[in-house]
A and B are shown apart, each in its own frame.
Chain A
Amino acid sequence: MSGCPFLGRKYPLFTSKPSQAEEEDESQKGINKAMKGGIVYGEYLQLDKVLSAQVLQSQEKGNKIHDEHLFIVTHQAYELWFKQILWELDSVRDLFIKNHVRDERNMLKVVSRIHRITMIFKLLVEQFAVLETMTALDFFDFREYLSPASGFQSLQFRLLEAKIGVADHLRVPYNRRHYRDSFHGQESETLMSSEQEPTLLQLVEQWLERTPGLEKEGFNFWGKLQANIEEGLKMEKHKVEKMEDSEVKEDLLADRNKQTEVFTALFDPKRHEHLLSKGERRLSYKALQGALMINFYREEPRFQVPFQLLTALMEIDTLMTKWRYNHVCMVHRMIGSKAGTGGSSGYQYLRSTVSDRYKVFVDLFNLATFLVPRAWVPKLNPNIHKFPYMAEFYDSSYSSYSSEDSD
């Protein structure tokens, strides 16, 4: 009736003796290894700790509210995944800090782990839908027992932000205090260290500055690009000027002028420094050049995986801001315009963090402003310019293959 190929085939339902056919059944081969001792599932995963960590405050206070369990488990799941993200993030930062990244065989590992972080963030964004099965009315029933606990006190979340590269001075203040004030003792120290150690942004910046092809005495990508763009814009302007006077011509001319302005700004190092000081740009001028180089020459073998890395870094920013926005929407539904349990303005504060000030790799997004027709990109001659085809891994001072652990 059910059409299932496995139903009723070989497994007799009420007899205890296996049928003849079972002797040959592949799915039945094997022995129960756990009978001979050794670590079992629950011990391996320390489930005695993990599964005994759900204590409802409402129940402690004598008014058990069913939905509080969901609230607790959801947050614990988030913190588990934050730990995993930090594990991946720290291992990647380490590859850069130890210079192992100069051995380009390590790039696969770097990109795989950064991509894994984006996959985890995707899950964390989807996870909101589960908590959203709780209504504001149900939340109201136990919210009073939570105060003053608040997401502001999530150490791992702050560590995550800091280690990726969220700029301390760009943060929206919280109740006019520094975000670190929510933490004390060792937690506060851990947080401070994370602000001082090299962030992913800084490490990627240094890596970008080393992009092959930037050398002025070598390929001189930037010089060539500037020349090509100026030439290209000049030619386009001539073409337009030769047209008959009309409104269309006016529009096209205005457009060309705007383009010229945009590219003049691109090639102005002082302007870049100015934007850097305001926080509107985060990468050094040289790093920006490296990023544009990788973008334009992404199909060259040596730049393929680096290009994937830049894409994955932008994906992290995008997912983090989606996470923030999902959080805002849910909080608004749950508490309207009431204050947060930690004492903040709640919805208002959270809304203000959905902002480009928290976008770490903002420069990579903005590179799209400077895209040019393929013809303007300086030509690479494979016979002369070997660097896009030859990865570096011979320098044994950087080789990481004989290192102690697999990190």
Chain B
Amino acid sequence: MSGCPYFQRKFVSTSKQHLKEDENDDSQTGVNKASKGGLIYGDYLQLDKIVTSQVLQSELKGNKIHDEHLFIVTHQAYELWFKQVLWELDSVREIFISGHVRDERNMLKVNTRIHRIVMIFRLLLDQFAVLETMTALDFYDFREYLSPASGFQSLQFRLLENKIGVPHNQRVPYNRRHYRDNFRDQESELLLHSEQEPTLLQLVEQWLERTPGLEEDGFNFWGKLETNIFEGLRREKEIIEQKPASEMKEEMMGELIKQRDIFLSLFDEKRHDHLVSTGQRRLSYKALQGALMIYFYREEPRFQVPFQLLTSLMDIDTLMTKWRYNHVCMVHRMIGSKDGTGGSSGYQYLRSTVSDRYKVFVDLFNLATFLVPREWVPKMDPSEHTFLYMAECCDSSYCSSSSDDSD
């Protein structure tokens, strides 16, 4: 009746008969190893700790509210995954900090782990839908018991932001105080360290500055690009000027001038440094050149994985800002314009964090402003410019294949 190929094949339903199985049934071969002692599942995962850490404040206060359990479990799941993200993030930062990233065989690992962070963030985004099954009315029934606990006190979330590269001078102040004021002693120290140690952004910046092809006495990508772009713009201007006077010609000329201005700004190092000081750009001028180089030559074997890395870094920014926005939307639904339990303005504050000031790799996004026709990209001759095909892995001072642990 059910059409299932396994149903009823051998397993008769009444009482003990199902134990007389066909000796040849592959699905039944095996032995119960756990009966001989050894680590079992619950111990391996320390479930005694995990599954007993849901204590409802509403229940402690004598007014058990059913939905508080969901609230607790949801946040605990977020924190478990934050821990995992930090695990991956720290391991990648370590590969850069130790110099092991110069052995390009380590790029697969770097890329895989950054991509894994992206996958986790996607899950964390989907997770909102579960908490959204709680209504504002149900939340209201236990919210009073939560104060003053608040997401502001999530240490891991702040560590995450810092280690990726959110600059603390860009943060939206919270009740006009420093975000670190929410933490004390050891937690506060950990947070301070995370601001001072190399962030993913800084490490990627240094890596980008080393992009092969930037050397002025070598391939001189930047010099060649500037030449090609202005040559290209000049030719386009000539073509437009030859057209008979018309409104369309005016418009096209206007467009061309705008394009020219954009590229003039690209090649103006002082302007770049100014934008860095206002926080609108984050990468150094040299790193920006490296990123654009990787973009234009992404199909060259040596740049393929680096290109994937840049894409994943932008995915992280995108997912984090989507996370913030999902959070805002849900909070608005739950508490309207009431204050947060931590004392902030709640919705208003959160809304202000959905902003480019929290976008770490903003420069990578903005590179799309400077895309040019393929023909303007400086030509690469494989017989002359071999640096694109030869990965660095022979320098034993950077070689990490024989390292102690698999980190």
Residues of A within 8 A of B (CB): 1-8, 11, 13-14, 18, 22, 26-36, 38-47, 49-55, 57, 63-66, 69-70, 72-73, 75-77, 79-81, 83-84, 87-88, 91, 112, 115-116, 119-120, 122-123, 126-127, 129-130, 133, 141, 146-156, 169-170, 172-177, 181-182, 275, 277-280, 339-346, 348-349, 351-352, 354-357, 359, 362, 366, 405-407
Q: Are A343 and B30 in contact (CB under 8 A)?
A: yes
Task: Assess whether B14 is in contact with A75, with CB atoms less than 8 Å apart.
Answer: no
Name B127's closest neighbour in chain A (CB-CB). A123
Interface positions, chain B 50-87, Cβ under 8 Å from A, are 50-55, 57, 63-66, 69-70, 72-73, 75-77, 79-81, 83-84, 87
* Given contact pairs A27-B172, A356-B7, a sample of 4 additional A-B residue pairs in the complex whose CB atoms are under 8 Å apart: A28-B349, A34-B343, A39-B146, A149-B43
Return chain B residues, CB-CB under 8 Å to A405.
63-64
Is B334 close to A, CB under 8 A? Answer: no
Given known pairs A32-B342, A355-B7, the reply for A123 and B130 (CB within 8 Å) is yes
Q: Given contacts A49-B50, A120-B130, A348-B27, is CB(A33)–CB(B147) below 8 Å?
A: yes
Q: Cβ of B336 < 8 Å from any Cβ of A?
A: no
Residue B330 interfacial (CB < 8 Å): no
Confirm or deny: B374 has a beta carbon within 8 angstroms of a beta carbon on chain A. Answer: no
List the 7 closest A-B pairs by CB distance, nearest first: A46-B53, A148-B33, A33-B148, A4-B356, A41-B153, A153-B41, A53-B46
B6 and A352 contact, CB distance less than 8 A: yes
Offer 20 A-B interface pairs, CB within 8 angstroms, sorted by A.
A2-B356, A11-B357, A27-B345, A27-B349, A30-B175, A30-B343, A34-B182, A36-B148, A38-B148, A41-B154, A51-B80, A75-B45, A77-B81, A84-B70, A147-B38, A149-B43, A277-B13, A349-B27, A406-B63, A406-B66
A6 to B172, CA, bound (A): 10
Tell me the residues in window 339-362 of chain B with beta carbons closer than 8 Å to chain A beta carbons: 339-346, 348-349, 351-352, 354-357, 359, 362
Tell me if B33 and A29 are in contact (CB < 8 A).
Answer: no
Q: Which residues of B contact A3 (CB under 8 A)?
A: 356
Q: Quick check: is B129 within 8 A (CB to CB) of the other chain? A: yes
Q: How many residues of B contact A (CB 8 A)?
A: 123
How many Å lie between the Cα of A145 and that of B115 in the bound state?
26
Question: Which segment, of B273-281, B379-387, B389-397, faces chain A?
Answer: B273-281
Q: How far is the CB of B377 from chain A (nearest CB, A)?
A: 23
* CB nearest to B369 among chain A residues: A1
**Once bound together, how far apart are the Cα atoms of A14 and B49, in whole Å?**
44
Q: From B116-124, B198-206, B232-240, B287-295, give the one contacting chain A.
A: B116-124
CA distance A206 to B345 in the complex (A): 50
Tell me whether B70 and A116 are in contact (CB under 8 A). yes
**Assuming the A-B contacts A34-B148, A123-B127, are A175 and B64 also in contact, with contact meaning beta carbons closer than 8 angstroms in the complex?**
no
Q: A77-B80, A133-B112, A169-B13 are in contact. Are A148 and B49 (CB under 8 A)?
A: no
A148 lies within 8 A of B39 (CB): yes
Q: Contacts A27-B351, A133-B112, A173-B21; is A41 near B27 (CB within 8 Å)?
A: no
B235 → chain A closest CB, angstroms = 28
Q: Contact at A79–B51, with CB atoms within 8 Å?
A: yes
Q: B190-212 vs A: 1/0 string, CB under 8 Å?
A: 00000000000000000000000
A406 to B62, CA, bound (A): 11
A residues in contact with B279, CB < 8 Å: 7-8, 13
Q: How far is the CA of A64 from the CA of B275 in the complex (A)?
A: 44
Could you tell me if B1 and A342 are in contact, using CB atoms closer than 8 angstroms? no
Contacts of B261 in A (CB 8 A): none
Q: Would you call B27 and A148 a contact (CB within 8 A)?
A: no
Known contacts A32-B181, A115-B133: A76-B45 contact under CB 8 Å: yes
Binding site for A on B (CB under 8 A): 1-4, 6-8, 11, 13-15, 18-19, 21, 26-36, 38-47, 49-55, 57, 63-66, 69-70, 72-73, 75-77, 79-81, 83-84, 87-88, 91, 112, 115-116, 119-120, 122-123, 126-127, 129-130, 133, 141, 146-156, 169-170, 172-177, 181-182, 275, 278-281, 339-346, 348-349, 351-352, 354-357, 359, 362, 366, 405-407
Q: Is the CB of A133 within 8 A of B169?
A: no
Separation of A147 and B34 alpha carbons in the complex (Å): 8
Of the candidates A2, A31, A69, A346, the one whose C-beta lies within 8 Å of that of B343 is A31
Give chain B nearest CB distance to A332 CB in angstroms: 13
A279 to B14, CA, bound (A): 9
Q: When chains A and B are docked, how far (Å) is the Cα of A85 from the Cα of B51?
A: 13
Min CB gap B336→A, angstroms: 14
Contacts of B278 in A (CB 8 A): 8, 13
When C-beta atoms are compared, the residue in chain B nearest to A177 turns out to be B32
The answer, among A66, A126, A356, for a CB contact under 8 Å with B4, is A356
A154 lies within 8 A of B115 (CB):
no
Which residues of chain A have C-beta atoms less than 8 A from B27's C-beta? 172, 345, 348-349, 351-352
B26 to A, closest residue via Cβ: A348
Q: What are the residues of chain A within 8 A of B345 when measuring CB–CB? A: 26-30
Residue of B nearest to A70 (CB): B84
- Given the complex, which residues of A lie within 8 Å of B73, measured CB to CB? 80-81, 83-84
Contact assessment for B343 and A33 in the assembled complex, using a CB-CB cutoff below 8 Å: yes
Contact B50 A339 (CB under 8 A): no
Contacts of B406 in A (CB 8 A): 63-66, 141
Cα of A52 to Cα of B49 in the assembled complex, Å: 9
Determine whether the beta carbon of A45 is less than 8 Å from that of B133. no
Closest Cβ of chain A to B168, distance in Å, is 10
Pick from B36, B80, B116: contact of A50, CB under 8 Å: B80
A349 cross-chain contacts in B, Cβ below 8 A: 27-28, 30
The chain B residue with its CB closest to the CB of A117 is B133
Residues of A contacting B123 with CB < 8 Å?
A: 123, 126-127, 129-130
Which A residues lie within 8 Å of B130 (CB)? 116, 119-120, 123
| Residue in A closest to B74 when the chains form the complex, CB atoms | A84
Contact present for B356 and A14 (CB under 8 Å): no
Cβ contact within 8 Å between B349 and A30: yes
| B150 contact from A41, A130, A141, A356, Cβ within 8 A | A41
CB distance from B104 to the nearest CB of A (A): 19
> What's the least CB distance linking B73 to chain A, in Å?
4
* Cβ–Cβ < 8 Å partners of A76 in chain B: 45, 47, 50, 80
Bound-state Cα–Cα, A40 to B173, Å: 20
Residues of A contacting B41 in the complex (Cβ-Cβ under 8 angstroms): 149-154
Question: B141 to A406, Cβ gap below 8 A?
Answer: yes
* A77, B73: Cα distance in complex, Å: 9
If the complex has contacts A2-B362, A30-B343, A41-B149, are A49 and B53 also in contact, measured as CB distance less than 8 A? yes
B208 nearest CB across to chain A (Å): 19
Residue in contact with A175 in the complex, picked from B28, B169, B170, B342, CB distance below 8 Å: B28
B50 and A79: CB pair below 8 A?
yes
Contact B28 A345 (CB under 8 A): yes
A contact residues around B30 at 8 Å (CB) = 174-175, 339-340, 343-346, 349
Contacts of B174 in A (CB 8 A): 32
In contact, B275 and A1 (Cβ under 8 angstroms):
yes
Contact A4 B70 (CB under 8 A): no
Contact A357 B50, beta carbon cutoff 8 Å: no
Question: Which residue on B lies nearest to A407, using beta carbons?
Answer: B66
